[in-house]
């Protein structure tokens, strides 16, 4: 069941410092107001800024103003401070926006500059208010079924859940269910979402297995819902897990895809096959799964060992191959003005990182370079979460802020980072 918290400040028990009972009167009073508030999200956001100031004094989490308990992080820092251990290109900086967003996944910026973040496993949507990066995130909605993909269209917030898509007249938190008929499998159930210029909704429906013949043809697809449509149609198929969706400036739909695991027959083969992929997704395209996987050496597809007689001819090839098991998740095209011009029209992709590769890979943000509307390759943009074979954070979602900076979520650390360009303009 999906329900929305009608007007509480999020997580008064979980998000407030445990030392509030001994805090000065000001901090206790602020906490009381936040916990008892029953008004609009705008009012909660305004009080969140006061809350951040009130809790910044000594006596809360050892006088640091941070939560009492935190997961291991890339580097200790106050929000807004530089992140130790992470590397960005010359001229760029990376700082914390928040370290109190448990399981942070996909994100979207509201027209007013608020950042909405999906805490998928908690079933929550939270807001990091515009202009108050050190404030505690404000709970916007709770009790949702695996909320993940987020998008704003004409000022309204669209949210992909396990069962369907809901819409909020942001900043009002009153939901409207647009459709609720998505197939619900036991795997790959964190959905990506993109809304076209005409309001058509595209939502991913990942496979229910690693490699198999699906019982429901809507698995391993991208589904299309025209405005007012509650049934939907298969837009493209053969996409094992289209974990991220994004439109480019020309209105073309792109997907990053997590390919299969355990192809064998040896670990050495599995380590490097099959490639994960970036796909240009068109109406009626067939990307081959489960019968076929992307050829690492050519723009075609090859039979999976479970389907040795599969005919892979005519299937849509990947637009670009990624290192196998990189686990690409978030994708966003960059059209901002803050970064150097060479980045405009490129796409940023978050690699969540491998789970069964003998030498871990991924766990970074890359930039996919485009020329003439086609991807030509990719290079590292933010690295350092993967050190000495261990994960010190795992990037997931990406969003371009109104000022042109790049925001990155991290579901292992429960953080949101901001990458800004401060070098010379060129």
Q: Which of 326, 269, 321, 331 has its CA nearest to residue 300?
A: 321
Task: Give the residue-averaged pLDDT of 267-273.
Answer: 97
List Cβ neighbours of 297 (8 Å cut-off, separation of 6 or more): none
Flag whether pLDDT at 353 surpasses 90: yes
Give me the pLDDT at residue 133, please.
Answer: 58
Q: Is 318 exposed, middle or buried (0-12, 13-18, 19+ CB in 10 A)?
A: buried
- Residue 78 is predicted with a pLDDT of 52
What was the pLDDT predicted at 158?
99
Band of pLDDT at residue 4, cut at 50, 70 and 90: very low
d(CA 23, CA 148): 36
Say if residues 164 and 179 touch (Cβ distance below 8 Å). yes
Give the whole-number percent of the chain exceeding pLDDT 70.
Answer: 79
What is the average per-residue pLDDT within 151-176? 98
- Nearest-CA neighbor of 404 among 1, 46, 113? 113
Give residue 186's pLDDT band: very low, low, confident or very high (50, 70, 90): confident
Burial class (CB in 10 A: 0-12, 13-18, 19+), 240: buried
Could you tell me which of 279, 263, 291 has the C-alpha nearest to residue 317? 279
- Structure tokens of 139? 């709970």
Mean pLDDT of all residues in 340-366: 97
In this prediction, residue 134 has a pLDDT band, given cuts at 50, 70 and 90, of low
What confidence score (pLDDT) does residue 420 get?
Answer: 97
pLDDT the model gives residue 65: 29
Residue 95, sorted as left (phi over 0), alpha (psi -120 to 50) or beta, turns out to be beta
Contact 206, 193 (CB under 8 A): no
What is the arithmetic mean of pLDDT over 46-70?
35
Instruction: Decide if 228 contacts 201 (C-beta within 8 A).
Output: no
* Residue 10 reports pLDDT greater than 80: no
**pLDDT at residue 60 is higher than 90:** no
DSSP H or E run through 377: strand 374-382
**Position 136 confidence tier, pLDDT thresholds 50, 70, 90:** confident
* Predicted local confidence at residue 424, as pLDDT: 81
Q: Average pLDDT in the 313-325 region? A: 97
Ranges 10-24, 286-300, 384-398: which has the least confidence:
10-24
**225-247 pLDDT tens trace:** 999 999 999 999 999 999 999 99
pLDDT for 217 beyond 80: yes
- Predicted confidence at residue 132, as pLDDT, reads 62
pLDDT level of residue 374 (50, 70, 90 thresholds): very high
If 0-12 CB within 10 Å is exposed, 13-18 middle and 19+ buried, where does residue 262 land? exposed
Q: How many whole angstroms separate alpha carbon 74 and alpha carbon 83?
A: 7
Task: Calculate the average pLDDT of the chain.
Answer: 85
Contact 193, 166 (CB under 8 A): no
pLDDT digits (tens, 9 = 90+) for 85-128: 999 999 999 999 999 999 999 999 999 999 999 999 999 999 99
Query: How far does Cα 180 stand from its chain's mean position?
Result: 21
Please name the residues in contact with 342: beta carbons below 8 A apart, sequence gap of 6 or more: none
Is 275's pLDDT higher than 80? yes
C-alpha distances in Å from residue 421, one per residue of 90, 143, 289, 335, 337: 9, 37, 40, 14, 10
pLDDT at 257: 98
Q: At 401, phi and psi to the nearest 5?
A: -75, 160
């Amino acid at each position: 069941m999906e329900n929305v918290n009608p007007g509480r400040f999020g997580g008064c028990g979980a998000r407030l410092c445990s030392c509030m009972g001994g805090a000065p009167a000001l901090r206790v009073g602020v906490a009381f107001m936040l916990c008892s508030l029953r008004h609009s999200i705008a009012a909660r956001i305004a009080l969140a800024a006061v809350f951040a100031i009130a809790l910044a004094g000594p006596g809360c989490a050892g006088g640091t103003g941070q939560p009492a308990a935190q997961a291991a992080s890339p580097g200790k820092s106050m929000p807004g401070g530089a992140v130790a251990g992470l590397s960005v290109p010359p001229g760029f900086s990376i700082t914390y926006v928040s370290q109190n967003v448990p399981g942070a996944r996909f994100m979207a910026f509201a027209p007013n500059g608020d950042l909405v973040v999906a805490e998928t496993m908690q079933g929550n949507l939270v807001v990091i208010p515009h202009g108050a990066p050190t404030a505690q995130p404000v709970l916007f909605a709770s009790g949702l079924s695996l909320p993940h993909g987020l998008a704003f269209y004409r000022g309204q917030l669209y949210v992909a859940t396990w069962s369907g898509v809901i819409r909020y007249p942001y900043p009002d938190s009153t939901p409207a269910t647009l459709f609720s008929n998505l197939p619900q499998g036991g795997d790959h159930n964190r959905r990506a979402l993109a809304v076209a210029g005409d309001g058509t909704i595209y939502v991913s429906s990942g496979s229910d297995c690693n490699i198999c013949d699906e019982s429901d043809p809507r698995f391993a697809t991208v589904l299309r819902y025209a405005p007012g449509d509650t049934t939907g149609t298969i837009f493209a198929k053969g996409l094992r897990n289209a974990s991220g969706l994004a439109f480019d400036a020309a209105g073309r739909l792109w997907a990053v895809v997590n390919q299969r695991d355990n192809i064998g027959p040896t670990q050495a083969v599995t380590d490097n096959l099959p490639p994960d992929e970036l796909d240009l997704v068109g109406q009626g395209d067939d990307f081959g799964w489960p019968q076929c996987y992307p050829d690492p050496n050519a723009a075609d597809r090859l039979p999976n060992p479970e389907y040795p007689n599969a005919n892979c001819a005519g299937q849509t090839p990947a637009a670009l191959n990624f290192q196998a098991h990189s686990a690409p998740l978030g994708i966003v095209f960059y059209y901002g003005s803050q970064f150097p011009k060479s980045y405009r029209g490129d796409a940023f992709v978050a690699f969540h990182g491998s789970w069964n590769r003998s030498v871990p890979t991924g766990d970074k943000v890359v930039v996919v370079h485009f020329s003439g509307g086609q991807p030509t390759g990719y290079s590292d943009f933010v690295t350092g979460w993967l050190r000495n074979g261990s994960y010190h954070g795992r990037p997931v979602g990406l969003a371009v802020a109104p000022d042109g900076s790049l925001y990155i979520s991290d579901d292992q650390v429960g953080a949101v980072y901001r990458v800004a360009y401060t070098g010379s303009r060129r």
